[in-house]
Structure 1
């Protein structure tokens, strides 16, 4: 559809629940990352939804394709697009629940929970505290950074003299997954199979493919857990299955719930972020120059890439009936937090569409927020910072290969191929 930046253009007729005002029912599919564009700022089409004139609660009919159709969800969801409201949904644990989030395993009849993502406070805290030490900045610096840097340098040097690389397929898709697999202790030979399973679960839109992939990965993960129970090692899966929570060992559901959640979250998001980051720098070479000439701004530049590339829009559900912004909310209503709007809210960010690699107080929602803020946020930031540090030491100004397609899905689908070239002396 064509988005003209007005609610009138996207209002639709839909037999919504009777607590939904008719003038709030809009088709927001264009803002959910499933429609590609070729803009330098691919999230621009949805930023206007954070404007002061936009109602604070919108309602999106159910998606009739992909997971919405597969799961049988025909009720639609509320959408919050302003920074202040997104912050409330992420942090107000009294009114909003994360239970059931991203529990694809239910499509094949599994009943274990995705831990800690799909668990609400106060129970959530014991699992979060159990896993957090493995992803702390100090642990990453001590145990992971040398390996991250070694793999990063190795991959860059493999392509430096060639003068070209498919940054999405051959680099972004590979680099963070190699780090993740080493962290977890998974064997390198499972790399391709993991990515195939992950693609079918998150992106195929086919119930049959999703179910087959879910059966395959869960069978493998349960077997891997059993192997580490017999033969412990120094990696994370082994540490999880041999650890204790509140003085007791983990149940089988807790073990698979944690390992499955980490597996699902460790394969895709950083890859999408890297591909979009390099696409933007290739299309705006002045950004390359500024970062290359001022390596001290790499940390805030990474934060700005993250703000302007909100890969995911997270969801919650209402835990009770309540009134919000003059609208009656009912227990069980679902809420979609539109991060591609909230991250550009002019009430929160000065000149929000401007890419400022030295932006201060850059508290965005790309890693979500509240108690469910991304467990791997510190690791992702470190991977991105090290990548930029080592890349600019070795690669001169790069550009998109002439004739290459630069369209991008502004979301998790992101970019499959991004051929970059540079001059080799």
Structure 2
């Protein structure tokens, strides 16, 4: 991950440069959404010119309510990735697709289907979650000037500060499918019902954290936001670097920011919690 630092920093500056000399930006659309996609393209050695296409597919996959459009986007991404895998078979490089082809499981090489799943998971998991966390983190900083000032005065505090923000504002929850009738708290769930499990509340557990609803940037928490044990996020180190570098570069490039006066931040609450728009002004 350390070897990727400079590339990640360059990508962050590319988008920040587009709005830093203005008096504000729509942070989600202008930075939080496109920035992690460029890192995905770098990791798989795809042309940066494809960022617009991947953003379109991402919108249809995760934000739209048109089932046909979602299905079409999945098929398009699958076709794109399978074509890339075929090309890497013939001419491998120094990208994650080529490296996946050298890996073994139970004494055999990965199949194209397994590599496809690996790449698709990186696209969805490595993009949407970063976008969501950045939106939540920057909303906090925009509404808490004292914390923003702490990180501005001491950029080295950002590494620990990000961990506290991850604890306080986890984005990813989970769902389970009910397989048999079950009653809890007076509510009965039937087979086929989807159950939303508020795993995000783990970071606010008063048995584990003193004053859990307070954000203390020097807390150094051990949190479950990036999973635990065999369910720990494989991309956690990359996620941390992206969040840290994005915060460092934004605070270094733009003055103290706040949410545009009169704007009420809209939250999307589901499997992944995120803010849909975040107009910042400075």
Deviation string for 1:7-47 (max 9, x for gaps)? xxxxxxxxxxxxxxxxxxxxxxxxxxxxxxxxxxxxxxxxx
Deviation string for 1:190-209 (max 9, x for gaps)? 22222222232233233322
Q: Which residue of 2 aligns with 1:182?
A: 42
- Write the mapping of 1:304-319 to structure 2, written as runs, cut at 5 A: 304-315=164-175
Q: How far apart in 1 are the matches of 2:193 and 2:277?
A: 38
Q: Which residue of 2 aligns with 1:16?
A: none
Tell me: CA distance 1:331–1:380, structure 2 relative to 1, closer, same or farther (3 Å). Answer: same
2:121 is the alignment partner of 1:252? no
- The structure that is helix-richer by fraction is 2
Deviation of the 1:398 alpha carbon: 0.9
2:274 alignment partner, SS class: coil
Deviation of the 1:317 alpha carbon: 6.7
Q: Please, which runs of 5 or more residues in structure 1 have no aligned partner? A: 1-139
Deviation of the 1:148 alpha carbon: 0.9
- Write the mapping of 1:39-118 to structure 2, written as runs, cut at 5 A: none
Deviation string for 1:34-93 (max 9, x for gaps)? xxxxxxxxxxxxxxxxxxxxxxxxxxxxxxxxxxxxxxxxxxxxxxxxxxxxxxxxxxxx
1:165 alignment partner, SS class: strand
Q: Which residue of 2 aligns with 1:38?
A: none
Which of 138, 141, 158 pairs up with 2:2?
A: 141
Q: Which residue of 1 aligns with 2:58?
A: 198
Q: Which residue of 2 aligns with 1:399?
A: 258
User: Any conservation in 1 of the 2:44–2:96 contact (CA below 8 Å)?
Assistant: yes
User: Any conservation in 2 of the 1:195–1:267 contact (CA below 8 Å)?
Assistant: no
Q: Please, which runs of 5 or more residues in structure 2 have no aligned partner? A: none
TM-score for both structures, normalised by structure 2: 0.87
Q: How far apart in 2 are the matches of 1:350 and 1:256?
A: 43
Deviation string for 1:142-180 (max 9, x for gaps)? 2x1111122223333332222322211011111111112
Q: Which residue of 1 aligns with 2:226?
A: 367
Q: How far apart in 2 are the matches of 1:245 and 1:401?
A: 51
1:380 alignment partner, SS class: helix
Tell me: CA distance 1:169–1:331, structure 2 relative to 1, closer, same or farther (3 Å). Answer: closer
Deviation of the 1:187 alpha carbon: 2.1
User: Any conservation in 2 of the 1:311–1:410 contact (CA below 8 Å)?
Assistant: no
Tell me: CA distance 1:402–1:317, structure 2 relative to 1, closer, same or farther (3 Å). Answer: closer
TM-score for both structures, normalised by structure 1: 0.59
User: Any conservation in 1 of the 2:162–2:243 contact (CA below 8 Å)?
Assistant: yes
1:300 alignment partner, SS class: helix
Q: Which residue of 2 aligns with 1:20?
A: none
Which of 377, 380, 393 pairs up with 2:236?
A: 377
Deviation of the 1:249 alpha carbon: 2.2
2:74 is the alignment partner of 1:214? yes
